[in-house]
Amino acid sequence: MTDLTARFRELWDEIAPVGRDAGSGGYLRYALTDPELRLREWFRGQARTRDMAVTEDGNGNLFAWWGDPDAGDAVLTGSHFDSVPHGGAYDGPLGIVSALLAVDELRAAGVTPVRPVVVAAFVEEEGARFGVPCLGSRLLTGEIAVDRAAGLRDAAGVSFAEALGDRPAGADAGLLGRFAAFVELHVEQGRALVDQAAPVAVASAIWPHGRWRFDFHGEGNHAGTTRMADRRDPMLTYAFTVLAANKEARLRDAHATVARVAVEPNATNAIPAKVTGWLDARAAEATTLDGLVEAVRAKAAERAKRDGTGLTCTQESATPLVAFDGGLADRLAKLLDAPVLPTGAGHDAGVLAAHLPTAMLFVRNPTGVSHSPAESATDADCAAGVTALARVLEELACR
Ligand code: GLV
Ligand code: MN
Ligand code: MN
Ligand code: MN
């Protein structure tokens, strides 16, 4: 084991128990809930031991500065602590831990930044608590209105503003203007690197994607006494829509998933009055994505007529195609001798890419599984990720 691999493991073990569900082995680290708040405190402590000043942007995002926080042309790195329900260990925290270790590597090598290196912990990247992914970076860049973000509510009815303890501050052009580039390191969320036998890759693009909420309304009634012909059962329309989404996605080589559902009243012996299903849809091209969602919507509406149910469809979030800065990606791929890959997963880097030169590094995931407790990365590959990120930060901030 190399010294860096051992240091990675040591730091990783500090956060590994936080928010871990003993049953599933996955993580319940929802934004601004106790486990995530503990990780944010841990982050502040790590910054303190490294003499890095921590600033907040009023939106829930934290920034630890190596170098003068008032200096410009800073190089931003980092990721997020929050997880999906029963998510993996690496999605998010790997980018933050790797950034702290990359700073250590550069310091140990006697390298000093000419421009500040800033490690970010963005809030609510997964959208698992308040429904909109990349909420922190969308607020910072002004891509979501403050009123809408403030009023988003979690399943218990707590608003984002209440969880934050204040109304979010919203866009901060002054802060954004101090960053010359953003580089987010992330665990790979597919098998692309296993197939290429490389520990680290550079991202080329993020597929356009979004979330749509389908509310199916029917008539709640008794399961034992209501004749089949008399029912207006929204579960049927919902079930048909899930199958239609799967079929339409396959036809287009796109991705459609319905993985969250709410049923009212959710009783075994009552025909539901209402079923809500959330569609996550993604495709390589925006026109393909639009066509997919329109087809699902049309088929659901047609089926609702047949079932005597009502349907409302609301788009809850949208992320357009992100083409990362080609010049920067090529430069980093050459520096690291790394392959370049697109991804179907969303990231804060995708939001920031519209505002500053942005790149991503992916660390190999031997299972190819993510958003699941089975997500994995070896310590040796994580150390390779730290080395790669340190080289990138040296290239961008220290010359
Ligand atoms: C976030 O991880 C997403 O792509 O859903
Ligand atoms: Mn994720
Ligand atoms: Mn992530
Ligand atoms: Mn993500």
Q: Which tokens in the block code for residue 346?
A: 């969303």
- The pLDDT score that the predictor gives to residue 1 is 76
Query: Nearest residue CA, atom 1 of ligand 1?
Result: 346
Which one of 371, 372, 375 would you pick to mutate in the ligand 1 pocket, going by the greatest count of ligand atoms within 8 A of its CB? 371
Walk across the sheet containing 310-319 and list its strands. Answer: 255-264, 274-282, 209-217, 310-319
222 labeled part of a ligand binding site: no
In order of start, what are the domains of the chain with their CATH numbers? 3-207+321-397 (3.40.630.10), 209-319 (3.30.70.360)
Q: Is the pLDDT of residue 393 over 90?
A: yes
Q: How far apart are CA 380 and CA 357, in angstroms?
A: 29
pLDDT band with cut points at 50, 70 and 90 for residue 68: confident
Average pLDDT over residues 18-30: 98
Contact between 375 and 187 under an 8 Å Cβ cutoff? The reply is: yes
* Ligand 1 shell residues, CB under 6 Å: 126, 133, 345-346
Q: Is the pLDDT of residue 40 over 80?
A: yes
Tell which residue, 206, 202, 189, has the closest CA to residue 366.
189
Which one of 86, 125, 126 would you pick to mutate in the ligand 1 pocket, going by the greatest count of ligand atoms within 8 A of its CB? 126
Q: Is the pLDDT of residue 72 over 90?
A: no
- The pLDDT score that the predictor gives to residue 279 is 98
Q: Is the pLDDT of residue 320 over 90?
A: yes
Against a cut of 0.90, is the pTM above it?
Answer: yes
Q: How far apart are CA 225 and CA 217, in angstroms?
A: 20
178 labeled part of a ligand binding site: no
Span 85-120, pLDDT tens digits = 999 999 999 999 999 999 999 999 999 999 999 999
Q: Is the pLDDT of residue 315 over 90?
A: yes
pLDDT band with cut points at 50, 70 and 90 for residue 236: very high
Angle at 318 between CA 305 and CA 161, to 5 degrees: 105
In 3-state terms the chain splits into helix, strand, coil percentages (rounded to 5) of 40, 25, 40
347 labeled part of a ligand binding site: no
Span 254-274, pLDDT tens digits = 999 999 999 999 999 999 999
- The pLDDT score that the predictor gives to residue 331 is 98
Average pLDDT over residues 12-36: 98
CA of 83 to the centre of ligand 2 (A): 7
Which one of 29, 30, 84 would you pick to mutate in the ligand 1 pocket, going by the greatest count of ligand atoms within 8 A of its CB? 84
Q: How far apart are CA 143 and CA 315, in angstroms?
A: 15
- The pLDDT score that the predictor gives to residue 159 is 98
Mean pLDDT of all residues belonging to the chain = 97
pLDDT band with cut points at 50, 70 and 90 for residue 71: confident
Name 55's Cβ contacts closer than 8 Å, sequence gap at least 6. 62, 63, 65, 69
Handedness of CA 83, 86, 91, 96 (dihedral sign): positive
- The pLDDT score that the predictor gives to residue 351 is 97
Average pLDDT over residues 183-203: 96
- The pLDDT score that the predictor gives to residue 138 is 98
- The pLDDT score that the predictor gives to residue 2 is 86
Q: Is the pLDDT of residue 70 over 90?
A: no
331 labeled part of a ligand binding site: no
